[in-house]
């Protein structure tokens, strides 16, 4: 996790999952220094070209971060502190529970 920012009473740390070959961009949500949840933007390999033809993770983050920050703010506004992922597939996007996944992913 690298950049940090605040929204309402929450601190948000964000960054690409270290060493991952799959695009997984995490937002760690903290309140009063205590972790509340993780949000993740997960782009499956066959959908990467939709975001950047070169499939460079940093370029994807730079061009979509504002939209993803809005998603995080909406989750906080809704009081939805479940571990969630915004998963982008070749056919579209869907929001899923991270803890319900068979191949559970974490920011570390």
pTM for the whole thing?
0.88
How does the average pLDDT of the chain come out, rounded?
90
Length reported for the chain: 108
- In this prediction, residue 99 carries a pLDDT of 77
Q: 17-21, 87-91, 99-103 — which one is most confidently predicted on average?
A: 87-91
Mean pLDDT to the nearest integer, 64-91: 96
Q: Give domain limits for the chain.
A: 4-100
**What tokens appear for 85 in the block?**
């992922």
Quickly count helices (H) and strands (E) in the chain. Answer: 2, 6
Q: What is the dihedral of CA 69, 73, 75, 76, to 10 degrees?
A: 140
Report, as an integer, the average pLDDT of 55-71.
95
Q: What is the pLDDT of residue 10?
A: 98
Mean pLDDT for the stretch of residues 22-39 = 95
Helix (H) or strand (E) holding 23: strand 23-31
Q: Of 26-30, 60-64, 99-103, which gets the smallest average pLDDT?
A: 99-103
Q: Are 28 and 21 in contact (CB under 8 A)?
A: no
Q: What is the pLDDT of residue 100?
A: 67
45: left (phi over 0), alpha (psi -120 to 50) or beta: alpha
């Amino acid at each position: 996790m690298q950049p940090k920012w605040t929204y309402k009473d929450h601190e948000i740390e964000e960054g690409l999952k270290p060493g991952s070959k799959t695009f997984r961009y995490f937002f760690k949500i903290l309140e009063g220094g205590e972790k509340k949840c993780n949000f993740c933007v997960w782009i499956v390999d066959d959908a990467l070209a939709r975001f950047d033809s070169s499939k460079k993770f940093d370029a994807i983050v730079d061009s979509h971060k504002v939209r993803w920050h809005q998603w995080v703010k909406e989750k906080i506004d809704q009081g939805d502190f479940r571990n969630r992922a915004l998963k982008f597939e070749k056919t579209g996007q869907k929001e899923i529970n991270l803890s319900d996944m068979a191949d559970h992913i974490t920011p570390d």
